[in-house]
A and B are shown apart, each in its own frame.
Chain A
Amino acid sequence: MFSKKQLFTRGMLDVAPHMLSVVPFGIICGAIGIELGFNPYLVYGMSIIIFGGASQIVFLQLISGGASALIAATSVGVINSRHLLYGAVLSEYLEKLSFIKKLLISYLVVDQGFAESNKFFKKNKTEKYLHYHLIGTGSTLWICWQISTLAGIILGSFVPEELGLKFAIPLTFIAIIVQDLKKIDHVIVMLVCGLCSLIFFDAPFKSYIIISPIIALFVAALILRFKK
């Protein structure tokens, strides 16, 4: 049986290797916000209010490209809908917590923390204070994300515009999904989404960012049906 403190520390250590990607990602996120001409307070405010790297970059890019506030907020919701899946998996281990604790711990559920804590939970199902591991991974990621976006905001004001740092946006997302190129079903879904985004690029309010994922998810559902 581990103590609360041991579990918390274990969570921090388990998630530590991910800092190699989280910190540069946070720096890019902050720097891009400045590069796109946003108020630094606004760029930083997102890291606390939204706390979701990819969706923050998408939000900034859409608003700077002239998308409506509604489209930008909705696409953040679509991108972050994957958390529903994480929540569904984690809820098994968090069932015994009080409602308030569940509400608080939810804020800390992010990709890397989910991945590491879920791995740990599967191996240590009987631990009493399991959730401290999730608090350990989540709060470590939270603190690093805050510091690195701040660093990016400061650095961003020094980066000359000619460098075209904006190009780091598609590269960041390539880095996120590139491993899924191994799976043919994912490749099909990606191509459908990408082609739709080019076809519908001129649709009003930048709605291609919502239309394309919906079509692609529909194709994903069809693929799943054929797989059976």
Chain B
Amino acid sequence: MTWLSIIIAGILTYFTRMTMIALVSRDMLGDRIKAVLAYVPSAVFPAIIFPAIFINDYGNFIEMNDPKIFAAIVAIVVGYFSKNVIATILSGLISYWIVLFF
């Protein structure tokens, strides 16, 4: 079942890559749709980020003093100023572990 959904996801993804290059003329996408598509990352990824930080494994909201909130803030600040993907992820993980284990 999971294999099947991976294959479907793969076909969908391939179509997002191929449609504009091979199937339709590029004028099909209006400027308006193109402008909206530019917002896709900002409109999609917070739906992963927010629940992964604010909701625990049992589906409940976490406390305000949870290490994940602190670590996410560290990662945002480091990421914003360093513009470095690895530094962002590592700073978040390390500050998470520091609060969690000490």
Contact string against B for A residues 172-206, beta-carbon threshold 8 Å, 1 for contact and 0 otherwise: 11111111110001100111111111100110000
B7 sits at the interface (CB 8 A): yes
Of residues 1 through 58 on chain A, the ones whose CB sits less than 8 Å from some CB of chain B are 20-21, 24-25, 28, 38, 42, 45-46, 49-52, 54-55, 57-58
A220 sits at the interface (CB 8 A): yes
Q: Is the CB of A208 within 8 A of B2?
A: no
B33 to chain A, nearest CB (A): 8
Q: Is the CB of B42 within 8 A of A83?
A: no
Q: Is the CB of A201 within 8 A of B51?
A: yes
Q: Is the CB of B49 within 8 A of A87?
A: no
Q: Is the CB of A69 within 8 A of B1?
A: yes
A90 sits at the interface (CB 8 A): yes
- Interface residues on chain A, size class: 35 or more
- Interface residues on chain B, size class: 35 or more
B98 sits at the interface (CB 8 A): no
Q: Which of B1, B21, B32, B89 contacts A171 (CB 8 A)?
A: B89
Q: Is the CB of B86 within 8 A of A103?
A: no
- The complex places the Cα of A80 from the Cα of B49 at a distance, in Å, of 17
- The complex places the Cα of A74 from the Cα of B71 at a distance, in Å, of 30
Closest CB pairs A-B (n = 8): A87-B20, A69-B5, A49-B10, A194-B46, A216-B43, A106-B18, A178-B79, A77-B12
Of residues 12 through 41 on chain B, the ones whose CB sits less than 8 Å from some CB of chain A are 12-14, 16-22, 25-26, 29, 32, 34-41
A107 sits at the interface (CB 8 A): yes
| Across-interface contacts of A219 in B (CB, < 8 A) | 43
- The complex places the Cα of A81 from the Cα of B20 at a distance, in Å, of 11
**What are 12 A-B pairs with beta-carbon distances under 8 A?**
A21-B86, A45-B3, A58-B48, A82-B41, A109-B17, A167-B52, A174-B75, A178-B75, A191-B46, A212-B47, A217-B40, A220-B43
Contact string against A for B residues 81-97, beta-carbon threshold 8 Å, 1 for contact and 0 otherwise: 00111101100110011
Q: Is the CB of A84 within 8 A of B2?
A: no
A57 to chain B, nearest CB (A): 8
Known contacts: A81-B40, A88-B26. The answer to whether A173 contacts B9 by CB under 8 A is: no
Q: Is the CB of B43 within 8 A of A213?
A: yes
| Across-interface contacts of A220 in B (CB, < 8 A) | 36, 39, 42-43
A188 to chain B, nearest CB (A): 9
Q: Is the CB of B46 within 8 A of A212?
A: yes
| Across-interface contacts of B22 in A (CB, < 8 A) | 99, 102-103, 106
Of residues 127 through 182 on chain A, the ones whose CB sits less than 8 Å from some CB of chain B are 163-181
